[in-house]
Amino acid sequence: MSNASSSQIAQWVDQAVSSTPIYDLHTHLYPANFGKLMLWGIDELLTYHYLIAETIRVSEISYDEFWAIPQKKQAEHIWQELFIERAPISEACRGVLSVLHRLGLDVQARNLNQFRQFFAEQKPGDYVDKVFKLANVHTVVMTNDALDPAERDIWLKKTDIDKRFKAVLRIDPVLVGWPKVGDTLGGFGYAAGADLGANSMKEIRRFLSEWIDRMSAIYVAVSLTPTFRYPDDSAATKVLKEAVLPICRERNLPFAMMIGVQRQVNPRLRLAGDSVGKADITSVDRILAQNPQNKFLMTMLSRENQHELAVTARKHRNMMLFGCWWFMNNPSIIEEITRMRMELLGTSFIPQHSDARILDQVIYKWDHSRQIIAKVMKDKFIDIANSGWPVTLDEVKKTAEGFLSANFQRFLETTLA
């Protein structure tokens, strides 16, 4: 029997990648019954912090003027500046167009009010169904903050959670917010002082355990600056060693580390004011090597960290590399990184997550990334076919399922020997 042709393989890959439902392991989305926390629709899409950054740099408007106007007016200003006055060629602009196009709206009309009319007719609950179907996503993983009063109240009310939304306990301040976070935890009934003595550590572990249970969190997560060092004599190292890693190990939960964000380099841009920096890979090596029983999900923000991070993944089976995070989530970089990762790690990584903040965004974030993942997979399968390997449809399907859903699911379930 002759081997499959390149065009046959290409067709198999396109079919498999486009039809595989996605498990989106990192988003900032909320279900419909979380009220105002669920962001969706054209005005939210246009006031996405990526587009605010792109608008402020080309617009005459002052920061104060921009933040003083209502969101609807902000959206109109962004639409005018980035879509009407200029060609909307940035990835974030293209994303808005891809969403409108996939929803079947008349993008050619360039008519913001026409788009608004469509969204005004949608009901949040039904709209979640429509978007998940269009994006072919089966589950999204939230980013949940137990210290955020609005979200906290919802969890304390034992609100039913849509099964398609999984929770994650995000703990940035508990690692890097000392001493102030001690007061916050105290205010919520956890006597954890900045001394970080034995009693405080016990209280921090109680906070983590209670909220992991309350949310049925599937992993614990943190984002860290490029200056993150492990181990050192900081509160972060102490809380990691004595609270976070032991609790995660006990419960066989992965600890997700998202490293390389410089928070608020320009506070006047608010959420859009964060930036990137190259981080220290040796700290990543050490935390993985010194905690072999802990599972780690890892992603780094700087393009300059990507090769060493992929090599580090080859050295530590307790690390699952994931996603093209934030400033990396651009087609040229996604392709470069995904190709390198397939060459260094084969099928044992998770190429992407959406990081969607607005529900509709899962449509474009995954449409755009599926195309690139498929492109790289085609090249890699055709390469091995050219080396005489009998590529099969099952092999292609299994690889697509691994990249888009099963690798994450398996990593959640696995226990480290």
Q: Does 24 contact Zn ion by CB under 5 A?
A: no
Q: Extract the tokens encoding 372.
A: 């690139």
Cα 297 from Cα 412, distance rounded (Å)? 10
Q: Does 355 contact ligand FIX by CB under 6 A?
A: yes
Minimum distance from residue 322 beta carbon to Zn ion (Å): 12
Cα 3 from Cα 13, distance rounded (Å)? 15
| Secondary structure letter of residue 395 according to DSSP | H
DSSP structure string for 165-205 = EE--EE-HHHHH-TTHHHHHHHHTT----TT--HHHHHHHH
Residue 272 binding: pick among Zn ion, ligand FIX, none (C-beta 5-8 Å cut-off by kind): none
- Residue 347 and residue 313 in contact, taking contact as beta carbons nearer than 8 Å: no
Which is nearest to 143 in space by CA: 205, 225, 223? 223
| CB nearer ligand FIX, residue 94 or residue 317 | 94
- Residue 328 and residue 303 in contact, taking contact as beta carbons nearer than 8 Å: yes
Q: Does 404 contact ligand FIX by CB under 6 A?
A: no
Please list every residue from 171 through 230 that binds ligand FIX, using CB under 6 A: 223
Q: Does 271 contact ligand FIX by CB under 6 A?
A: yes
Select from 66-74, 111-119, 340-348, 352-360 the region that touches Zn ion (CB under 5 A): 352-360
Residue 119 binding: pick among ligand FIX, Zn ion, none (C-beta 5-8 Å cut-off by kind): none
| CB nearer ligand FIX, residue 214 or residue 270 | 270
Q: Convert residues 108-147 into a mask of x (bound to ligand FIX by CB under 6 A) and - (unbound).
A: -----------------------------------x----
Q: Does 353 contact ligand FIX by CB under 6 A?
A: no
Residue 223 binding: pick among Zn ion, ligand FIX, none (C-beta 5-8 Å cut-off by kind): ligand FIX
Dihedral (C-alpha) 36, 147, 24, 278: value to the nearest 10 degrees?
120
Q: Does 274 contact Zn ion by CB under 5 A?
A: no
Burial of 376 (0-12, 13-18, 19+ CB in 10 A): buried
Among 205, 295, 357, 365, binds ligand FIX (CB under 6 A): 357
Which is nearest to 248 in space by CA: 277, 290, 212, 214? 212
Among 336, 355, 367, 401, binds Zn ion (CB under 5 A): 355
Return the H-helix or E-strand segment holding 238. helix 235-239
**Total residues contacting ligand FIX (rule CB under 6 A)?**
7
Residue 68 binding: pick among ligand FIX, Zn ion, none (C-beta 5-8 Å cut-off by kind): none
- Residue 179 and residue 185 in contact, taking contact as beta carbons nearer than 8 Å: no
Q: Does 203 contact Zn ion by CB under 5 A?
A: no
Interacting residues toward Zn ion by CB under 5 A: 355
Interacting residues toward ligand FIX by CB under 6 A: 143, 223, 258, 271, 326, 355, 357
